[in-house]
Amino acid sequence: MELQKIRDDFDRLALFDDDGWSHNSHYGDYLLRHIPAGSGHAATALEIGCGTGHFARQLAARYDRVIAVDPSPQMIRVAQARSGGFPNIEYQVGEVMAMAFPAGSFDCIASIATLHHLPLPAVLQRMKEMLKPGGVLLALDLFEAEAQRLPDLLRSAVALRLLRLRTSPAARAAWAEHGRTDRYVRVSDVRQLCRDLLPGAVVRKHLFWRYSLVWRKPAQ
């Protein structure tokens, strides 16, 4: 039932996506800066939860092949319609934990605003296994505020103001309905999990209640 609700929510949210600025796309360039120099030749990237394909198209400029998966058929339809100039992107409807990608398949695995819909320890372990040695994991997701400290209050004020400036009332209502059942992790818990599973990962807190996770798999 939970997966079906996520599919239904994002089938509806796809109708509001205009491929412009969003709280998530705001950090695309930040993530891309962590792709190792020289990546791309005969290299393959995977995006988990690709939505309408905004970041997949950015990855397609860096990698020879991009596989982009999302559980929402409507998101995938919109992504395919917008990606006519990107023959190196393969879109698939599916949930990554149920897909049979072999270990060591990808030079890059990215996920934007998707990890909170999945069991975090299990999906990070799966991403770790699917990465090739030397590959990079790039993630952006939402966090739960751990305390009402001044920096968090300031982040919230800025984010709320920009949210109202950038989105329509109908889109805000659709996102609010989706968010009613969302559950987020604390950044401190993400860091602890990374110490156990992805030693050396860099986890940073950002505006708009987002955190980033960047990890390079050891070459050996």
Query: Using the 8-state DSSP alphabet, how is residue 58 labeled?
Result: H
Alpha carbon distance 140, 207 (integer Å): 12
Instruction: Determine contact, residues 195/215, Cβ cutoff 8 Å.
Output: no
Average the pLDDT over 29-52 and give the result: 87
Mean of the per-residue pLDDT values of the chain:
84
Query: For position 216, what pLDDT does the model report?
Result: 97
H helices of 96-217, in order, are 120-130, 150-166, 169-179, 187-197
Between CA 103 and CA 106, with CA 104 as vertex, the angle to 5 degrees is 120
Among 184, 180, 140, smallest CA distance to 9 is for: 180
Q: CATH number, domain at 184?
A: 3.40.50.150
CA atoms within 13 A on the CB side of 187: 20
- Work out how many domains the chain is built from and give that number: 1
Alpha carbon distance 35, 16 (integer Å): 30
Whether residue 9 is predicted with pLDDT greater than 60 in this model: the reply is: yes
Query: For position 149, what pLDDT does the model report?
Result: 60
Backbone angles phi, psi at 93, to 5 degrees: -85, 125
Residues in contact with 152: Cβ distance below 8 Å, sequence separation at least 6, in sequence order: 145, 146
Alpha carbon distance 127, 104 (integer Å): 9
pLDDT in tens, 103-149: 999 999 999 999 999 999 999 999 999 999 999 999 999 998 765 46
pTM over 0.85: no
Query: Which residues constitute the domain of residue 169?
Result: 2-216
Query: For position 96, what pLDDT does the model report?
Result: 92
Whether residue 174 is predicted with pLDDT greater than 70 in this model: the reply is: no
pLDDT in tens, 56-99: 999 999 999 999 999 999 999 999 999 999 999 999 999 999 99
